[in-house]
Amino acid sequence: MADKSSAPQARDKLTFLLALVPYLMDRDRVSVHDAAQQFGVTDEQIRDAVRLIAVSGIPGDTAAYQHDDLFDIAWDDFEDNDQIVLTNLVAIDDSPRFSGREAAALIAGLQYLSALPENADHRAIAVLMAKLSRGASAKPSPVAVEGSETDATLDLIRKAVSTGRQLEFDYLNSRGESERRRVDPLQVESVDADWYLRGWCHLREALRTFRIDRIGEPAITSEEIAFRPREVALPSSLFEGSPEDVDVTLAIAPAGLPLVADYLLDGSTAPFGGGLVRATMRVSHFHVVKRLVCGLPGLVTVVAPPEARELVEEWASAGERSYDESR
């Protein structure tokens, strides 16, 4: 007759093993002592558990428990150095995983977040990047996200927002004109990879949106802001039009549509032919379209008006001539 008193002990042992295996999988290498400290058991109990894991697995296709059907460890490291390194994973490792390319893309995004001033010391991001690298189905390609002067400007602007102080800076608008502005900073927002400052511009005496990478020589003044966020109704849309804006009709490939959806006029999309979508965008002037076409090569074509088409064509031709002359 089975000893009923052994059942709880067996269940506890199984629970322990089920917790230990993911713990070891999440680490490239861990010492027996560190694992024992983590689970509140003795070093010898960890050694016994690891030896049991190393002879555990699944029947496999042959139902004969071949070598690849079992867990395995780096035995020399285990016996000589008291280090645990899993070298073959089975069963539990069959769950869906990110591909190497997917993991690399996520790691690049996390690197960008960690480069922001408020996340510079955020250890959780570094831990998550390490887990993504280890857990991918293939080794992610090495990636690096370069910092820029915009990061320092963004940090300064955030300080101005939090302290309620006015900002002064040189601003280069989309026409290439530079002016010194004094602004009550109200809010910082991002769209894709671009960061924007929304604030009350004392030069224009109106709310304005400034692209942070076009801000130069920023300085926090000693003056308190005259308009506070609760006193100014910020529009829900980041980009507000003006009576001087002009409409541009575009033919957009479906792959590019989500990338420009925030900038299109509501209800302006319609089939265009050839699998493209016709849509209308309102811009401050036609030169803005050049940056759009450059950022989405092959996905966007200017349809109308003729002035916008000619401007983009001249700009592209000038670039081609410059390239030919440099060869």
What pLDDT shows up at residue 2? 44
What pLDDT shows up at residue 101? 76
What is the rounded radius of gyration, in angstroms, for the C-alpha atoms of the chain?
30
Residues 50 and 87 in one domain: yes
Structural domain contains residue 137: no
Structural domain contains residue 21: yes
Between 93 and 292, residue with greater pLDDT: 292
Cβ(247)–Cβ(253) below 8 Å: no
Q: Which of 241, 199, 236 lies closest to 220, judged by CA?
A: 199
Structural domain contains residue 142: no
Q: What is the CATH number of the domain that holds 205?
A: 2.30.30
Strands lying side by side in the sheet with 178-191 = 206-211, 194-201, 178-191, 165-172, 215-224
Residues 66 and 18 in one domain: yes
Token pair 């280069």 is found at 172
Structural domain contains residue 111: no
Residues 253 and 295 in one domain: yes
H and E: helices and strands count for the chain: 10, 13
Tokens of 135: 């857990």
Q: What is the CATH number of the domain that holds 70?
A: 1.10.10
| Distance between CA atoms of residues 189 and 236, nearest Å | 12
Tokens of 233: 């109704």
Domain boundary among 76, 94, 112: 94
pLDDT at residue 7 tops 50: no
Token pair 């479906």 is found at 254
HSE (side-chain half, CA atoms, 13 Å) at 132 = 23
Token pair 């496999």 is found at 60
Would you list the DSSP string of 232-292? S---SSSS---TT-EEEEEEE-TTTHHHHGGGBPTT--EEEETTEEEEEEEESSTHHHHHH
Residues 191 and 268 in one domain: no
Between 225 and 323, residue with greater pLDDT: 225
What pLDDT shows up at residue 6? 43
Structural domain contains residue 133: no
Categorize the per-residue pLDDT at 116 as very low, low, confident or very high, splitting at 50, 70 and 90.
Answer: low
Structural domain contains residue 129: no
Domain boundary among 177, 196, 231: 231
Residues 223 and 258 in one domain: no
Token pair 């549509």 is found at 257
The tally of domains found in the chain comes to 3
Q: What percent of the chain has pLDDT over 90?
A: 23
pLDDT tens, position by position, 11-31: 677 788 878 888 887 777 899
Q: Which of 148, 234, 227 lies closest to 189, judged by CA?
A: 234
Residues 81 and 157 in one domain: no
Contacts (Cβ under 8 Å, ≥6 apart) of 133: 103, 107, 139, 140
Domain boundary among 48, 69, 94: 94
305 preceded by a cis bond (ω within 30 of 0): yes
Residues 252 and 226 in one domain: no
Structural domain contains residue 108: no
Bridge partners, residue 208, by sequence: 199
Residues 198 and 254 in one domain: no
Q: What are phi and psi of 196, to 5 degrees?
A: -135, 145
pLDDT tens, position by position, 188-240: 887 766 788 999 999 988 888 898 889 999 999 999 998 877 777 777 666 66
Helix (H, G, I), strand (E, B) or coil at 15: helix
pLDDT tens, position by position, 32-61: 999 999 998 999 999 998 888 887 766 666
Residues 252 and 189 in one domain: no
Most confident of the ranges 226-230, 265-269, 322-326? 265-269
pLDDT at residue 324 tops 60: yes
Domain with 73 in it: 6-94
